Structure 1
Amino acid sequence: MSTLYDKIWQNHVVSEGQDASAPSLIFVDRHLVHEVSSPQAFESLWSAKRIVRRPDCTLATADHNVPTTPRAESVTTEHYVRDPISRAQVTALEKNMRRSKIPYYGLGDERQGIVHVIGGEQGFILPGAVCVCGDSHTSTLGAFGALAFGIGTSEVEHVLATQTLRVRKSLNMRVTVDGELGLGVTSKDVILHIIGTIGTAGGTGFVIEYAGSVVRGLSMEARMTMCNMSIEAGARAGLVAPDDVTVSYLRNRPLAPDGNHWDQGVEFWRSLKTDEHAKFDREVFIKAEDILPTVTWGTSPQDSVPISGSVPDPSSFKTPQRREAAEKSLKYMGLTPGTPMESIVVDKVFIGSCTNSRIEDLRNAAAILTTLGPEAKVSPNVAAMVVPGSGVVKRQAEAEGLDVLFRRAGFDWREAGCSMCIGLNPDQLGPEERCASTSNRNFEGRQGDKGRTHLVSPAMAVAAAVTGKLTDVRKIVGAAAFQKGSDGPQSLPPMLFGETAIQPDELSDEAPSSQEPLFRQIRQFVSVKGVGVPIHMENVDTDKLLPAKFLKTITRTGLGDSLFYRLRVDEVTGQKSDFILNREPFDKAKILVCTGSNFGCGSSREHAVWALKDFGISCVIAQSFGDIFFNNCNQNGLLLVTLPADVCVQLADYAATGAEIDIDLEKEQVTCMKSGLVVPFHTNGTTRRRLLRGTDDIEDTLAEADKISAYEKMRRERWSWLELDITRTRRRAAGGSLEW
């Protein structure tokens, strides 16, 4: 008996790992690329004189740091993207796409948008497929019954060169939500409730399958919202078994199969389900009646309460680490225990992001305004914006008149992009500004330096915009508003996928160049001896390791000074703080010892690993690590050592003395040089051999090229609908007028 995840995994194994704990080589059906995590991958690829193996399996767009201000008909990167570093990233993407022949939805293309939005709405992602992207929220696309997950930049390069990945199989977890959702409760509230129940590390090491009557009753776009935030629970991926809802959504999408291929695909998709008696490694059961409209109060998605609740008292949490984290969160958020959530005033409202920027999200938000009537206006003290997830969503919303409703109420209506979710463009919060946001992360500084984020659903975001504070949307509108929000077809009319503009930029075929040495030369780790720096924190996310504003780079170097930036630098005065990494001898530390668990959770950005390496850190010791972060470290020659909590505390106490630590991977032991304490550790055999040799994963994989070719032959014969001629499909979608 097999789970859905087991079946998808087994269908994609090119070669098994040497043992049960070793990574297997799996084939990647769909690869999405954007401007932030790909420049270094292509630079390394071209430097090694390699080519993209399957450009037909890849689709690219610019989304993370593109402006969302109005665009002219003939928009060019040179004139539209004002920030020079952002412009360099987008320009590098354009050049790499031209050289590699990968289809690209650029700024002059109506289909441009958030990578996780366009992947679904274009029909590029299909049930049973394996989909990856250099972004953790690729898990969104698991809603199609696909195994979709984020990867690091080195792994992006691996997929480009081989169309495969070396991945360890995750454990199986099922979250079942049964019952009937109450008034005003949306999929965003459901997933926030789940994360609040299991915690941000509750899914670490697992792929989560969402099941139950509530999940089966959700639309595709609502399922995407749930799968999107699986990564916020620590999971590798989240997925929902395909059904009639899935098939209906995919029908007539531009990149979906057609004709006999469609019929064959549908027959196969309907077979993709977990067997009745399949065993899961963990089961979680949620009663729909227990879920209320939900809002976050702290700096982690697990910090959530019903909107009718109050800010919790840190003393109410069971563990010292959780109490300390809550105290820090409340200090950052400027909140005191016992404060009613509905009394918290907001400065800004953001409706958008890969979590809640699809047409259904905008319909739900607009339905609240419609119910309130034409007099409904954004509160005078609030700046509110709506950012559609793609150009297609924007056109659909305008065809339905949703933009008129938003504009009339005082919302700013924007172009497609990631926008304020990550704050890489001018859409940001100011210091201590408070935002009701439909995005996915409320980390410190996520939406702007010292900005304060409360995660909410689109309906709750509108309620906050109109009242000027966090508000229970059920109190200002009746049941009719939520019924209206589901009106209209789930699928966008095919005519809105029609003729599109050709990318206007004249791009050369030359690859971007740099003087940076080939990165694969520094992937080796044998041993390290030096000072260790103790860090006493839980859930050290990649935003804490390296704030998002430092992602605007096309190299791997120069990020060491920005490691733990918000803790090391006063962002008002620019002066260095007394944080331990600024103090001798820890400013020269080579080893980091964290006493908390889930180190490296959050984003898939490899930049956090590069910052650690650039600072001089060669090894991190902790109780546990985020899945994607773990893989990124292995690709960069940074050793991760997993040890029990009491041992981590013991080593941290020793490190605090400034005495040296020796870590030997060959002997697999940590030695405290001054005290003589020796701690053994275990590293997966495959990972250990690769680190000791410093080998390039791609070289090892290309040695199995015959196996990859054999798999591709089998794939063409068995699942022919996965073979996609994007050039042909683009012409079909554009009525034959679009040139490549």
Structure 2
Amino acid sequence: MGLTLYDKIYNAHLVDPTNTTAPLQYIDAHLIFEVPTPQAFDGLRRNKRSVRRPDLTLATVDHNVPTDDRSGYRDASSFLTEPAARKQVTLLEKNVAEHGIKYFGMSDRRQGIVHVVGPEQGLTLPGSVIFCGDSHTPTHGAVGALAISGSVTEIEHVLATQTVLQHKFKNFRVRVEGDLGPGVYSKDIILHLLSKIGTAGATGYIIEFCGSTIRNLSMEARMVLCNMSIEGGARTALVAPDEVTVEYLQGRPLVPSGEDWDKALTYWRTLQSDEDAHWDYTVDINAVDIVPSITWGTSPDDVIPITGTIPDPADLDGKDDIRAAAIRRSLKYMGLQANMRATDIQIDRVFIGSCTNSRIEDIRAAARVASGRTVAPRVYAMVVPGSGLVRKQAEREGLDTILKKAGFDWREPGCSMCLAMNPDKLAPGERCASTTNRNFEGRQGIGGRTHLLSPAMAAAAAITGHMTDVRELVATGNGSLSNTQLTLGGDKVMSAGAVTVQTEATSTNTLSQPVVDEAFPNRPAEESKISVDGIPKFDILSSVAAPFDMQNINTDLIIPGEFLKTVTRTGLGPSLFRELRYDPITIQEIPECVLNQEPWRHAQILVCTGANFGCGSSREHAVWALTDFGFRCVIAPSFASIFFNNAGKNGLLAIAIDDAKALGLVHAEAMAKRNVVVDLPNQEIRDSSGKRIVRFNVDPYTKHCLLNGLDDISSTLVSEDKIYAFETKQKATFPWLFNRIRKLQPPKRLGLDLPGAKDLLEW
């Protein structure tokens, strides 16, 4: 039987194919940023470990940075006024300097959102394995890379070992055929898919997007699809490389040239799923069925066409009571009414940006709609380019002029209003038409209301002041390749990064100068192979269980994004489930919340009857908040894969019980305020009388680590010789993947620095 593209890349990166208990994937490139790295570098420091491959690591800042004008920028310490943000950014600057890691700081025009910067620089290559500590890392799969996301513990693991523990996932094919209709973009394709499969439909799978529609999309449009695959539960997503991929990559700074380009191209052409490959699941979509769409609720799968109406929970009463309750909660939070028309939704703000939709093609789409029009008087609209290079190209094409004339605020690059971690956020009750990827409660600010849609649709909403069918404003154009790669003047221009950087880099001979290969792994000393502290041991736990009856409990609900600014792993317990536990106005406890009631406020076990617990972000902070509150075990029908992975690595036992009757018995014990016993050695849950309720499954490796309090890095470094042997072979087979980041030049040499900057790090 043939192999899928995922199968081929996964198999080619197994450090030891015989190790099926704890399989290690070698990481070809590692992207880091300021939010999840302080604790990771601190872990290295405490265990006297080095970054194994600084030459395979690239850093930038994005989540915390303000998007205000930087003409007066001097350094991060003075520019960042918020203390926690300033601390995270300056810590990153200290850590990258200490470990010799290349860094795009705020004084560097290459700085930007990590998932824009990686492909833009050519760090992301077909057939490679990319790691980044952010859940939207699947973005990089658009070029045919296996892009893996994780959080702090895994970041530290990659820094120390250049590997990540990764079991094999199943294959999910999304096949889209046909031509897109007018006003339909890749954002509409992924929203349409989410409406079909839900936020957990691809849990345990890797998605490959294929079909004639996908082949007719640009690289940037493909990135949108892969970016939001995580919202459907997928571990990551890919698109097989083709001529569109080759055209996008050629000439970028970190893409091979000369003989290496020819060798790489030969290899990339083999990266296709075989005709007889096995697919565990397939979804077929006809492009003609996709129309401009928006989300109405607080989950990315709450999707309706712009011509549609908001659902009525009464239609589900008695059929799916949990879903009916979720719709009612969303309607209350969003301030909407059942059966309301989509076009009747009034908005206060528009945000065009984020790692989903902040590239040059997105800005062109918005400018086409905005050209010759004016933002509605009551609306504040902002456009935030994904990187300094995107901003520069947009200004070269005159897009900034069009947008500013229409009344849009033109900003500096960063994550901005995607999540409430920086000054760009919604006030309570404000409604935003947003090109981001998540519409969770409080995602863009406490009490903020978010609707997801394409850049063209967002621009249309900005002009009219309400949700609007973009086809009423622009009669032609859609997300196909022939449209998105054209400037407003009709010229074909490559995406930001390739032409611009190649020209500037060539002027300093950075692509032609030979670079001595001094990139060797920093192999660990024997004394640093065993961690000074492991994870909390787990054996038999007896505790009252706190009962929850919600589905799709997301990580933003578990711990809001603003708390990601912490640089430690502790202290988050008081803010656990803030939206559920505290009144947003008085900040007083809500008595009805079970975690504010006795004896549940002291529970060490949480039992949830709704599926897909922990969906959303890769933030390990969600697990830290649960453990800091006192939880040692979470029981639910199913978990989002990244949360499930993070739990075990921090001593939190996540137990999936798909037997509804057994789960109901555990929940009944919780409601009765009786103790439940979780017995890990025997893998069973018992009631307070000692009677077994249900047996549960647990991965043997996770069980071993929990019982013995072992962390992953210590276990991995036992096999360090195998890692060294693999990377030696990898370097001989794919030489273009190594030593390339060292070729990057300082911003001053390329003329990409801010004139008044004083914080340029020595490269």
Report the TM-score when normalising by structure 2: 0.92
Residue aligning to 1:490: 494
Tell me how far 1:731 sits from its aligned partner.
Answer: 6.5
668 and 17 in structure 1: CA distance in 2 versus 1, 3 angstrom threshold: farther
Residue aligning to 2:173: 174
User: 1:559 is matched by which residue type in structure 2?
Assistant: L
Residue aligning to 1:328: 329
User: 2:378 is matched by which residue type in structure 1?
Assistant: N
**Is the counterpart of residue 448 in structure 1 residue 445 in structure 2?**
yes
Tell me how far 1:679 sits from its aligned partner.
Answer: 2.0
Task: Map Cα deviations across residues 347-385 of structure 1 (whole Å, 9 max, x no partner).
Answer: 000000000000010011111123xx2xx1110000000
Tell me how far 1:300 sits from its aligned partner.
Answer: 0.5
Tell me how far 1:617 sits from its aligned partner.
Answer: 0.2
Matched residue SS, 1:13: coil
User: In 2, Cα distance between the equivalents of 1:564 and 1:271?
Assistant: 47
User: In 2, Cα distance between the equivalents of 1:403 and 1:681?
Assistant: 57
Residue aligning to 2:583: 570
Task: Map Cα deviations across residues 519-540 of structure 1 (whole Å, 9 max, x no partner).
Answer: 8433322221111101111111
Q: Is the 8 A contact 1:367 1:484 kept in 2?
A: no
**Equivalent residues in 2 for 1:124-273, closer than 5 Å:** 124-273=123-272
Task: Map Cα deviations across residues 71-102 of structure 1 (whole Å, 9 max, x no partner).
Answer: 13643111111100110111111111111111
**Is the counterpart of residue 711 in structure 1 residue 726 in structure 2?**
yes
Residue aligning to 2:367: 366
Q: Is the 8 A contact 2:172 2:279 kept in 1?
A: yes
330 and 345 in structure 1: CA distance in 2 versus 1, 3 angstrom threshold: same
User: In 1, Cα distance between the equivalents of 2:60 and 2:661?
Assistant: 46
**Is the counterpart of residue 397 in structure 1 residue 394 in structure 2?**
yes
**Equivalent residues in 2 for 1:481-560, closer than 5 Å:** 485-487=484-486, 488-492=492-496, 493-496=498-501, 498=504, 520-560=533-573
Q: Is the 8 A contact 1:659 1:674 kept in 2?
A: no
* More moved, 49-58 vs 488-497: 488-497
Alignment RMSD: 1.9
2:615 counterpart (601, 604, 609): 601
**Is the counterpart of residue 670 in structure 1 residue 685 in structure 2?**
yes
Tell me how far 1:480 sits from its aligned partner.
Answer: 5.5
715 and 310 in structure 1: CA distance in 2 versus 1, 3 angstrom threshold: same
Task: Map Cα deviations across residues 206-237 of structure 1 (whole Å, 9 max, x no partner).
Answer: 00000111001000000000000000000000
Matched residue SS, 2:208: strand
17 and 624 in structure 1: CA distance in 2 versus 1, 3 angstrom threshold: farther
Residue aligning to 2:515: none
Residue aligning to 2:653: 639
**Is the counterpart of residue 415 in structure 1 residue 404 in structure 2?**
no
211 and 441 in structure 1: CA distance in 2 versus 1, 3 angstrom threshold: same
Tell me how far 1:280 sits from its aligned partner.
Answer: 0.5
Q: Is the 8 A contact 2:535 2:711 kept in 1?
A: no
Tell me how far 1:570 sits from its aligned partner.
Answer: 0.6
737 and 174 in structure 1: CA distance in 2 versus 1, 3 angstrom threshold: closer
Task: Map Cα deviations across residues 687-722 of structure 1 (whole Å, 9 max, x no partner).
Answer: 111111111211111111111111111111111111
Residue aligning to 1:299: 298
Residue aligning to 1:513: none
> Matched residues, percent identical?
52
User: In 1, Cα distance between the equivalents of 2:162 and 2:185?
Assistant: 37
Tell me how far 1:156 sits from its aligned partner.
Answer: 0.4
User: In 1, Cα distance between the equivalents of 2:117 and 2:570?
Assistant: 31
480 and 585 in structure 1: CA distance in 2 versus 1, 3 angstrom threshold: closer
2:381 counterpart (384, 398, 401): 384
User: In 1, Cα distance between the equivalents of 2:292 and 2:720?
Assistant: 51
Matched residue SS, 2:165: strand
**Equivalent residues in 2 for 1:333-352, closer than 5 Å:** 333-352=334-353
Tell me how far 1:262 sits from its aligned partner.
Answer: 1.1
Matched residue SS, 2:101: coil
**Is the counterpart of residue 696 in structure 1 residue 711 in structure 2?**
yes
1:726 counterpart (712, 729, 741): 741
Q: Is the 8 A contact 1:202 1:233 kept in 2?
A: yes
Residue aligning to 1:504: none
Tell me how far 1:319 sits from its aligned partner.
Answer: 2.2
Residue ranges of structure 1 left out of the alignment (5+ in a row): 502-517
Tell me how far 1:175 sits from its aligned partner.
Answer: 0.5
Q: Is the 8 A contact 2:666 2:693 kept in 1?
A: no
Residue aligning to 2:80: 81
593 and 627 in structure 1: CA distance in 2 versus 1, 3 angstrom threshold: same
404 and 46 in structure 1: CA distance in 2 versus 1, 3 angstrom threshold: same
Residue aligning to 1:509: none
Residue aligning to 2:528: none
Residue ranges of structure 2 left out of the alignment (5+ in a row): 487-491, 509-530, 754-761
Tell me how far 1:196 sits from its aligned partner.
Answer: 0.7
Matched residue SS, 1:149: strand
Q: Is the 8 A contact 2:605 2:633 kept in 1?
A: yes
Q: Is the 8 A contact 2:218 2:484 kept in 1?
A: no
Matched residue SS, 1:94: helix
Residue aligning to 2:35: 36
Matched residue SS, 1:596: coil
User: 1:152 is matched by which residue type in structure 2?
Assistant: S
**Equivalent residues in 2 for 1:448-467, closer than 5 Å:** 448-467=445-464
Matched residue SS, 1:621: strand
User: In 1, Cα distance between the equivalents of 2:477 and 2:5?
Assistant: 37
User: 1:727 is matched by which residue type in structure 2?
Assistant: R
Q: Is the 8 A contact 1:23 1:169 kept in 2?
A: no
User: 1:10 is matched by which residue type in structure 2?
Assistant: N
User: In 1, Cα distance between the equivalents of 2:79 and 2:310?
Assistant: 42
Residue aligning to 2:520: none
Residue aligning to 1:288: 287
Q: Is the 8 A contact 1:367 1:485 kept in 2?
A: no
693 and 369 in structure 1: CA distance in 2 versus 1, 3 angstrom threshold: same
User: 1:708 is matched by which residue type in structure 2?
Assistant: I
User: In 2, Cα distance between the equivalents of 1:519 and 1:231?
Assistant: 34
Tell me how far 1:674 sits from its aligned partner.
Answer: 3.9
User: 2:644 is matched by which residue type in structure 1?
Assistant: F
Task: Map Cα deviations across residues 445-500 of structure 1 (whole Å, 9 max, x no partner).
Answer: 10010111000100000000000000000012211687765413233353346379
Residue aligning to 1:515: none
Tell me how far 1:725 sits from its aligned partner.
Answer: 3.2
Task: Map Cα deviations across residues 633-662 of structure 1 (whole Å, 9 max, x no partner).
Answer: 111011111112332222111111111111
Matched residue SS, 1:603: coil
User: In 1, Cα distance between the equivalents of 2:745 and 2:55?
Assistant: 12
User: In 1, Cα distance between the equivalents of 2:609 and 2:694?
Assistant: 15
329 and 480 in structure 1: CA distance in 2 versus 1, 3 angstrom threshold: closer
User: In 1, Cα distance between the equivalents of 2:52 and 2:34?
Assistant: 20
User: 1:663 is matched by which residue type in structure 2?
Assistant: V
Q: Is the 8 A contact 1:346 1:469 kept in 2?
A: yes
User: In 2, Cα distance between the equivalents of 1:477 and 1:562?
Assistant: 45
**Is the counterpart of residue 650 in structure 1 residue 672 in structure 2?**
no
For these two proteins, the number of residue pairs brought into alignment is: 718
Matched residue SS, 1:479: coil
